[in-house]
Amino acid sequence: MTDIPPDHPRYESLLAREKVAAGVKMGFTSIQGLIAQGRGESFDYLLGERSTESALYAERAAVAALLLAENPVISVNGNVAALAPEKVVALADLTGAKIEVNLFHRTETRMHLIIEQLKACGASEVLGKNPDASLDLSHDRRLVESRGIYSADVVLVPLEDGDRCEKLVEMEKIVITIDLNPLSRTSRMATISIVDNLTRALGNMAKFAGEMRKERKDELVNLITSYDNKKVLSEAISEIQEHLKNLAAEVEY
Ligand code: ATP
């Protein structure tokens, strides 16, 4: 990986780009993952590269759902494994969630490399290698484990494609997504749509999980029952508009 000087004004963004590129070179991120990262970066620019109020609200609701779940599962793909494997493991530990690898461009080598990467970050068990159940999809993301994603009541699917998100919602699961694009099919389908950068979102969620797991159960239930995902998506779009208006005003003077 190229060394990025920490005082570079675009340090975080360049570091993330290096990590995804390194994931491709090491064989666990697909080449298409570079395009997905680029699309994410452009939406992050529009948002002002910050966790907005609506994102923080969705992140708290998501953590409440994970803490209350009977069988929470975090689904991991090649981009997530490249960008934030240690954050996935930390969040899984704090919420009691299982981790399952699920890939669109699935090969046995990629599955193995990602599982090893997560284990190197401290995961004791990673599901996904021995699928014994199937979602109603025509691509490899259908391959899941019965004690993981298939039976999960709450599933966190960061950087998801719209197809699988739709199927998981149809199965009446609480589906939490992390996607910088508030207009994507995924964001519009999910139960809880977090419009934030994966790295920031997982960091915030681990912090909230540490605090919220001491809270009373009814307080967590309240957070979920009062949660309004349509409002979150519309606010995310307004936050982009507001940010762009401010930038336009700066350019004028
Ligand atoms: P959909 O079917 O939901 O419309 P898509 O085809 O737009 O999905 P994909 O290429 O399947 O998108 O997935 C990439 C999505 O993940 C994009 O919407 C992109 O904005 C988002 N994304 C990529 N990198 C990040 C990141 N680091 N953090 C958050 N979101 C990201």
Looking at residue 251, what is its pLDDT?
87
Concatenating the DSSP letter of every residue in 80-146 gives: HHHH-HHHHHHHHHHHT-EEEE--SS--HHHHHHHHHHHHHTT-S--B-SS--EE-S-SSGGGEE-T
Identify the pLDDT of residue 214. Answer: 94
Residue 121 lies in a domain: yes
Ligand 1 atom at minimal distance to the Cα of residue 37? 24
Taking the model in full, what pTM does it have?
0.96
Task: Report the CATH number that the domain containing residue 204 is assigned in CATH.
Answer: 3.40.50.12640
**Ligand 1: which residues within 6 Å by Cβ?**
36-37, 39-40, 43, 83, 159, 161-162, 178-181, 184-186, 197-198
Within a domain: 135 = yes
How far is residue 7's CA from residue 15's CA, in Å, rounded to a whole number? 12
CA distances (Å), origin 40, targets 33, 69, 74, 247: 11, 29, 20, 20
Measure 39 CA to ligand 1 centroid, in angstroms.
7
Which atom of ligand 1 lies nearest, measured to the CA of 196?
Answer: 29
Task: Give the integer Cα–Cα distance in Å for 229 and 225.
Answer: 11
| Of 9, 28, 48, the residue nearest 200 (C-alpha) | 48
pLDDT tens digits for range 35-54: 999 999 999 999 999 999 99
Q: Is residue 199 part of a domain?
A: yes
Is position 82 within any domain? Answer: yes
Q: Would 34 be classed as within a structural domain?
A: no
Residue 160 CA to ligand 1 centre (angstroms): 7
Task: Report whether 135 contacts 129 (CB < 8 A).
Answer: no
CA of 249 to the centre of ligand 1 (A): 29
Number of structural domains found in the chain: 1
> From atom 6 of ligand 1, which residue's Cα is the shortest distance away?
161
**Ligand 1 centroid, distance to 179 Cα (angstroms):** 6
pLDDT score, position 8: 84
**Predicted confidence (pLDDT) per residue in 88-104, tens digit:** 999 999 999 999 999 99
Nearest ligand 1 atom to the CA of 16 is 27
Atom of ligand 1 nearest to the CA of 184: 4
Cα distance between residue 102 and residue 195, in whole Å: 21
Query: What pLDDT, on the 0 to 100 scale, is given for residue 29?
Result: 94
**Which residue range forms the structural domain that includes residue 184?**
53-240
Is residue 207, in this structure, part of any structural domain at all? yes
Give yes or no for residue 161 having a pLDDT over 90.
Answer: no
CA of 252 relative to ligand 1 center, distance in Å: 32
Q: Does 253 or 65 have the greater pLDDT score?
A: 65
pLDDT at residue 253 is higher than 70 = no
Does residue 104 lie within any of the structural domains?
A: yes
Ligand 1, from 75, 83, 159: best to mutate by most atoms within 8 Å of Cβ? 159
> Are the C-beta atoms of 180 and 43 separated by less than 8 Å?
yes
Average pLDDT, the chain: 95
Asked whether residue 46 is assigned to any structural domain, the reply reads: no
Task: Output the pLDDT for position 10.
Answer: 84
Q: What confidence tens digit (pLDDT) does each residue in 198-225 have? A: 999 999 999 999 999 999 999 999 999 9
